[in-house]
Amino acid sequence: MVLIPTNLNPTSANLRLTTNLLNLGQVKVGQVFSANLQPLNNTQALVTIGSQSFTATLKEPINLTGDVKLVVKQTSPELQLAVQNNKPQTTASNSQALQQSIQNILRQFLPQQSSLNQVVQQLNTLPALPAGINQALQQLLEQLNRPQKINDGKQLQSSILNSGLFMESKLKQGQAKLPGDIKAQMLQLQKQTLQLNQQQPSAALAKLSDLLNQAISRITVQQIQLLENPNVTAYEYLNNQDKINQDTIELHKINYASNTLWEVYINLQLPQGELNSKLSLNDQDSAINCFLWCDNQDVEAHITNKLGALRKQFDDAGLNLNQLQLSPRKLEPKQRKTQVALIDIKV
């Protein structure tokens, strides 16, 4: 008999019966037996089916013991059985249950969320708070209000990792302390606020708790969007300026059979008007194509004068720029079935 444990490849471990106690005429391929498996050493195992016990020879050690299900794989020229894999399989019902859970979470957090930019504005104008809470709040605001100068990929990566989107992932990896993670700081401050508000109720503490809940809900919704569409990263970029515009960046990863295409869509509200751009990168040739669209002649004239300087910046950074040109139409990503999350930018 051939015995294949669940944690090995179906052709990697063999177990051959030294006795033939089963009536082969009554055994059919696909038939399942309840059995007990007890390895004797690295080369032999005792198999019990009902009242019959077999001594089997192992070609390789097996690390499986106890009650198992054995399925008949072959009856001739010798009886071959395999341990039935009881590992749960992903089914349509499991997928539906997952989608239902996601929808329940979204129904809970979507109505509670607010833009982090709006939350930060209101946090900056809260009335006097107890000393301990105020100190923790000021530490959080210092990080949120600190101007973010992102000039390269490493700075962008660090900013995204501390945005709160990956807090649970960090904890799973064993990071007990998360001093720079925004969501972790908000959860800690919310816990302190709720405890103190139960002891010393005040309108300021209640307002702080509500604002923190809005921000945490915002990050949680973005995490769900990231779960639904891992190829698009939802990230809210904060920068401390007086004027707020909701500019957007969308990052897309498109997998084809032979290559992967990365696309970045950037929409900016300049003083002269709107600038819309698209950058694409094919992982086969590592060449970047950059297209720019301007919504009026003033913006177009301003951008046209800067094209040479922009190309030089690509060259100085060691980036292979293939195309750099103006587009006659606005650049927008193709409609896809997967949900796309936006990056809010405070400028």
Question: Mean pLDDT over residues 39-56, rounded?
Answer: 79
* Residue 7 clears pLDDT 60, i.e. is over it: no
More confident residue, 312 or 148: 312
More confident residue, 25 or 80: 80
Q: Which residue has the tokens 């979204």?
A: 106
* Residue 26 clears pLDDT 70, i.e. is over it: no
Q: Give the integer Cα–Cα distance in Å for 104 and 166.
A: 21
pLDDT of residue 263: 92
**pLDDT tens track for 290-344:** 999 999 998 999 999 999 999 999 999 899 999 999 999 998 887 654 444 444 4
* Residue 45 clears pLDDT 50, i.e. is over it: yes
pLDDT of residue 18: 40
**DSSP per-residue letters across 277-319:** EEEEEETTT--EEEEEEESSHHHHHHHHHHHHHHHHHHHHTT-
pLDDT of residue 205: 95
- Three-state SS annotation for 129-170: CCHHHHHHHHHHHHHHHCCCCCCCHHHHHHHHHCCCCCHHHH
Average pLDDT, the chain: 79
Which of 51-60, 90-99, 118-127, 241-250 shows the highest mean pLDDT?
118-127
Question: Mean pLDDT over residues 258-278, rounded?
Answer: 89
How do 247-255 and 260-270 pair as beta strands? antiparallel
pLDDT of residue 347: 37
Cα angle 298-303-304, degrees, rounded to a multiple of 5:
100
Question: Mean pLDDT over residues 133-160, rounded?
Answer: 81
Percent of the chain with pLDDT over 70: 79
* Residue 86 clears pLDDT 70, i.e. is over it: no
* Residue 277 clears pLDDT 90, i.e. is over it: yes
Structure-token pair, residue 86: 């009881």
pLDDT of residue 231: 66
More confident residue, 119 or 25: 119
Question: Mean pLDDT over residues 272-299, rounded?
Answer: 91
How do 288-294 and 321-326 pair as beta strands? parallel
Reported as a pLDDT band with limits 50, 70 and 90, residue 180 is confident
Structure-token pair, residue 298: 């003033």
More confident residue, 243 or 217: 217
**Which domains can be identified in the chain, with CATH numbers?**
15-83 (2.40.50), 96-226 (no CATH), 247-345 (3.30.750)
Reported as a pLDDT band with limits 50, 70 and 90, residue 117 is confident
pLDDT of residue 8: 33
Reported as a pLDDT band with limits 50, 70 and 90, residue 219 is very high
* Residue 233 clears pLDDT 70, i.e. is over it: no
Which residues neighbour 68 within 8 Å (Cβ) at sequence distance 6 or greater?
Answer: 35, 36, 37, 83, 84
pLDDT of residue 33: 82
